[in-house]
Amino acid sequence: MTAPAQRTGQQLKVGAVIITMGNRPEELRALLDSVAKQDGDRVEVVVVGNGSPVPDVPEGVRTIELPENLGIPGGRNVGIEAFGPGGEDGYSVDVLLFLDDDGLLPRTDTAQLCREAFATDPELGIVSFRIADPDTGETQRRHVPRLRAADPMRSSRVTTFLGGANAVRTTVFAQVGGLPDDFFYAHEETDLAWRALDAGWLIDYRADMVLHHPTTAPSRHAVYHRMVARNRVWLARRNLPAPLVPVYLGVWLLLTLARRPSKPALKAWLGGFKEGWTSPCGPRRPMKWRTVWRLTRLGRPPVI
């Protein structure tokens, strides 16, 4: 991994990509206001209407309205492309924030903390924020992207990140590509994370970079069980060395059965698991074995 010469933390340019389906106009406006209040230079914002019109936004916020819903990775990729061309890596900003449209930045120093983090560590490629409930301040275990998730206030190196609360150095996209469009929903962040780690980049979880977001369950999405299963198979087929593919997927099959999902959920999961094997998964670029070892040293070998 080689990064171009970096500007100082004060000079790093920060942008933000927000995708919306137009059904949260008040939450979106509050989020945009919180981005506008960030310390330092102005954060350039692009809002992508994912198959829907974009609600009214403040002056200076760019909008893109897509004729159809491209899914989370597809919509975010459109937002990424809106920041090019320009700069040494082909983008007009150095860092992109990705924020859920019903989230909120409660602190005004988050963008500046990002600038400082990326300027200080040239190998840092991705930062995962801490998601906290706005009413209780609690962080769900699933929102801490590591196995040892009991203490969400502990920052650490990690092997993946949270899709709607993160910052990515644009050089990462220039080097390894964007999010996998065909995933539509689920595991697209881990696919990008594994490719970034394989290219030599680092990923941090930062407890001091906070996004307020209401507590929800991922299973609220009707397609959750099918896409989680399908995309996990695709994730393995695309990125893992061949001997690890059956191990990784076998472990997840056993974990799913151990959780005793309802019959409809299990049926959807098994259908997605089958679909993952029988449908095209995109280009296969297995990670190096030294990346497998690196993931293992970080506490999450790619079989769990």
Give the model confidence (pLDDT) of 157-188 as tens digits: 999 999 999 999 999 999 999 999 999 999 99
Q: What is the mean pLDDT of residues 200-210?
A: 98
Cα(184)–Cα(279) distance, integer angstroms: 14
Q: What is the pLDDT of residue 217?
A: 72
C-alpha distance across the termini of the chain, in Å? 26
Domains and CATH numbers, the chain: 14-216 (3.90.550.10), 221-283 (no CATH)
From the list 95, 108, 85, the residue with the least C-alpha distance to 34 is: 108
d(CA 25, CA 23): 6
pLDDT band at 215 (very low <50, low <70, confident <90, very high): confident
pLDDT of 6 strictly over 70: no
Stretch 207-228: mean pLDDT, rounded?
Answer: 84
pLDDT at residue 100 in the model: 97
The pLDDT value recorded for residue 123 is 98
HEC profile for 130-166? EEECCCCCCCCHHHCCCCCCCCCCCCEECCCCCCCEE
Q: Which residue has the tokens 């959807």?
A: 268
Cα-based distances in Å from 167 to 87, 94, 163: 18, 10, 9
| pTM score | 0.94
Residue 5 has pLDDT above 50, yes or no: no
Positive or negative: CA dihedral 63, 64, 68, 73: negative
Mean pLDDT of 114-128: 98
Amino acid at 121: D
Q: Pairing state of beta strands 165-169 and 124-132?
A: antiparallel
pLDDT in tens, 52-104: 999 999 999 999 999 999 999 999 999 999 998 877 889 999 999 999 999 99
Give the pLDDT score at 10.
59
Q: Token pair for residue 27?
A: 């939450």
Q: Does residue 55 have a cis peptide bond before it, meaning omega lies within 30 degrees of 0? A: no
